[in-house]
Amino acid sequence: MKIVHLSAECYPVAKVGGLADVVGALPRYLNKQSANASVVMPKYANEWVSEHEFETVLSGSAPLGHWQFDYRIQRETADTLGFPLYVIDIPGRFDRPGVYTDEESGGSYWDDFERFASFQIVALDWFNRMEEKPEIIHCHDHHTALVPFMITQSYRYMDLKHIPTVLTVHNAEYHGVYDKEKAYLLPHFDERDMGLLDWDGRLNCLAAGLKTCWEITTVSHSYMNELAYNSNGLEWLFQNETQKSRGIINGIDTDVWDPETDPMIAEHYSQRKMAAGKRENKRVLCDRFGLDPQYPTISFIGRLVHEKGADMLPDLFRTYLESPQSVNFIVLGTGDRSLHHQFQAMSDRFVGYFDATLDYNESLAHQIYAGSDFMIMPSRVEPCGLNQMYSMRYGTVPIVRNIGGLKDTVVDIGTSDGYGITFNDFTLHAAQDAVQRAIDLFQDGRKMAGIRKRIMNLDFSWNASAKEYINMYKQLSE
């Protein structure tokens, strides 16, 4: 079955968040189950792209409103990812290093709509010309959510109308909202259908995709339920579309995330050699950050944004840093500038107990998973969350808020077969309580070791979820 994934991100080509990890792994696992899945994404001007070779499969020009623009579709020659990777080169639109934001100013690009609309138009023009057309078009998030709209509404794509489209919502906080005038940049459609693009009087790409795709998926069961009452204004739409919606939990790429072979960590370890392996990785990690390895190490990795509850961390950590209790904390991530300042000030003030790397650093992330005792995720919203699964694979106990995918993957140690620490309310008090339970668990060496072994053994690989996707594709193409 020929499945094409359209996405703005794909690890390791270009990554901002978990979307990249999913798109970089799922197609490979689909192909292991004898699908024929590939990825189509924009060609950014970044390091990965410049270090890899591409061959052109098609070049041409396409319309964006009254304008014509040139494009090239290229395939990565060496096929390094385990699936064919196609990049769409649109000079003037994507030949910049950032995916969504300008690295220097930190702001979004002024022509976001034009960028992703052009990308989607080229992809559809290409499918139009293909002899063997895709059997499923799988879109991810709002950057590719106009594809289901254009396929069903634009006269230009009439020949593609019968192809089932899937739209996966990785994050419903972002919709891609623009002025309605932008609709005239899309290939011609019946103006009476303008309402399909509309939500609250504006052009809303995610809403348009949700209304017109064949199937909506999101990345966990709990998040699917939550969207109906918490999706940044789209609640009613999600409620209305439940018939064609389902939650499929993400997996993790266990080839990349494997403490036995991970080239980015200090010492390899298996579940059997867990104690020695964790000890050595922790020693190296604490050394790097100037922390004392005899205390429990609690880390946070992720974007420093409201959604992830990162704004709660300074107060939460200070509760412990200002008391005689001995515990240390590590933060890795970028985001909100005021949080950068706060973490910077805390690193200066609590030397030996707190440190932060305010950057995106993939290999340091691996070292933190391997060397920490606990990983904290106090998210306000968490569609799936991958970090808790990476942590567990590395024997690091998750402390998570009971929400979305976190709720579906972490069972509290308070229940008979539990293996993580969870809390319900988004309050400082509830989070403090959870951290305290982590510290207490750490004091109980035997229990802690048992849980570590247990979580390293859990299966979060893509195998089961890839099967669910295949079943869904089959149902759609019947």
Of 219, 356, 392, 434, which lies in the binding site for ligand GLC, with binding defined by CB under 6 A?
219
Would you count residue 250 as binding ligand GLC (CB under 6 A)?
yes
Q: Which is nearer to ligand GLC, 250 or 357 (CB)?
A: 250
Can you state the angle between helices 274-289 and 445-457, rounded to 10 degrees?
A: 100
Would you count residue 24 as binding ligand GLC (CB under 6 A)?
no
Would you count residue 171 as binding ligand GLC (CB under 6 A)?
yes
Q: How far apart are CA 234 and CA 204, in angstroms?
A: 10
Peptide bond into 12 cis (omega under 30): yes
Of 24, 251, 383, 420, which lies in the binding site for ligand GLC, with binding defined by CB under 6 A?
383
- Footprint on residues 251-310 left by ligand GLC (CB under 6 A): none
Q: How many CA atoms lie within 13 A of 305 on its CB side?
A: 10
Mask for 83-122, x = binds ligand GLC (CB under 6 A): ----------------------------------------
Tokens of 341: 């300042």
**Least distance in angstroms from the C-beta of 465 to ligand GLC:** 11
The stretch among 12-20, 70-78, 96-104, 315-323 that binds ligand GLC (CB under 6 A) is 12-20
Q: Which is nearer to ligand GLC, 277 or 302 (CB)?
A: 302
Tokens of 324: 């005689």
Tokens of 410: 């972490």
Would you count residue 465 as binding ligand GLC (CB under 6 A)?
no
Of 25, 124, 285, 386, which lies in the binding site for ligand GLC, with binding defined by CB under 6 A?
386
Q: Which is nearer to ligand GLC, 151 or 406 (CB)?
A: 406
The stretch among 39-47, 224-232, 382-390, 466-474 that binds ligand GLC (CB under 6 A) is 382-390
Would you count residue 18 as binding ligand GLC (CB under 6 A)?
yes
Tokens of 262: 């991970």
Q: How far apart are CA 140 and CA 32, in angstroms?
A: 21
Give every CB contact of residue 297 below 8 A, 6+ residues apart in sequence. 282, 285, 286, 291, 327, 328, 329, 330, 371, 372, 373, 374
What is the 3-state composition of the chain as percent helix, strand, coil, each rounded to the nearest 5? Answer: 40, 20, 35
In 3D space, the residue among 395, 369, 363, 366 whose CA is nearest the CA of residue 273 turns out to be 395
Q: Which is nearer to ligand GLC, 152 or 171 (CB)?
A: 171
Q: What single DSSP character describes residue 5?
A: E
Q: Which is nearer to ligand GLC, 141 or 373 (CB)?
A: 141
Size of the site for ligand GLC (CB under 6 A): 14
Would you count residue 384 as binding ligand GLC (CB under 6 A)?
yes
Q: How far apart are CA 201 and CA 208, in angstroms?
A: 12
Which residues make up the interface to ligand GLC (CB under 6 A)? 17-19, 22, 170-171, 219, 250, 382-386, 405
